[in-house]
Structure 1
């Protein structure tokens, strides 16, 4: 759930950034904060690759 949530948040933030164009990077727009928050999810929850390894290991172990 953590891995999927972080990936979905990043994809949504990236789409919002594409819609807003260059303004998405401007601190005056809330999109820039959403992008930072979505990116930090991967850092707080651990790297996506590590999460994927843990999931794969548990699936193999049964």
Structure 2
């Protein structure tokens, strides 16, 4: 009885690991990942400096 239970546990773990590998796309998935690219609208420094870099026309209509 103990041998049957051991075989069931080993088969279950093996099937689980195989399904997990298939779901993740294989073993070498970690080498395929690209670093996250930060767009200009996500960059805090860009957003802080955008108003400084933009030319502001002087308001000459008042006087």
Q: Normalising to structure 2: TM-score of the pair? A: 0.37
Relative contact order higher in (CA < 8 Å, ≥ 6 apart):
1
Higher helix share: 1
